Amino acid sequence: MAKRGETATIKRLNEKTASFILMGTTVYVQNKFSSKARQQLHDAHAAGSTAKSKNKKEVKDFQAMYEASIHRDEDGRTGIPVIALRRAIIRACKLAGYVMADAKVGIFVEPDGFDPDDFQSLFHFTKGEPEYFESMVRVGQNKPDIHPRGLWRPGWEAVARIRFDGDAYTLNDIGNLLYRAGKQVGIGEGRPDSRFSAGMGWGLFDIKNPPEGENDEG
């Protein structure tokens, strides 16, 4: 704030918020890094060179691994990590010719709660329940392994509240970035924008309540 007699040259932040209903057009697969996996990694590092090179294989509890793959808030409600959608929006900025670095400080996804296990901020699913799903992966020296994960079938829904800088973006800008994020980038495991592959075509979504004028195909 400018003092009396001074003129402010920096405008106040023009914060705006809009809610969008995301509707899954493909499956969404979640793979939370569980507390058990973190503890095992911690113990291995703590042991250092004294750690055994060949440990006895532990019997897998597939149901427990499945439950541990799902993000739930302090009330037990399932949700999508805020960072997953935010990363997708920021990546979509590059596709639309926007500066990605500006989006990091200009566009935010408001949380509905957080996962008390790893403190990930989440926004809730409003439709759809997770199902048990086994995914084949390759770990270590390219060895195949089975990882149980949570899967939501197409038609899942979640409400994303987007807070943005109204001087840098319009409501339609945000809607169109979300549209690109849902059609081209994706969220979760197997998304098209995966760092390690071209993805499985998972984690794509549409906007059920697009702003007026958005994605007008004429």
Q: At 24, is the secondary structure helix, strand, or coil?
A: strand
- Residues 167-195 have pLDDT tens digits of 999 999 999 999 999 999 999 999 999 88
- Tell me what pLDDT residue 143 has: 74
- Tell me what pLDDT residue 34 has: 45
Is beta strand 15-24 parallel, antiparallel or unpaired with respect to 205-207?
antiparallel
Asked if 189 and 30 count as a contact pair (C-beta separation under 8 A), the reply is: yes
Low-confidence stretches of the chain (pLDDT beneath 50): 34-43, 45, 215-218
A 10 A CB-CB count for 63 gives 10
Q: What CA–CA distance (Å, rounded) separates 77 from 165?
A: 29
CA diameter of the chain: 75
- Tell me what pLDDT residue 10 has: 87
pTM for the model stands at: 0.83
Which 8-state DSSP code applies to residue 133? E
A 10 A CB-CB count for 184 gives 16
- Tell me what pLDDT residue 5 has: 66
Is beta strand 15-24 parallel, antiparallel or unpaired with respect to 157-165?
antiparallel
Asked if 2 and 146 count as a contact pair (C-beta separation under 8 A), the reply is: no
- Tell me what pLDDT residue 217 has: 39
- Tell me what pLDDT residue 56 has: 61
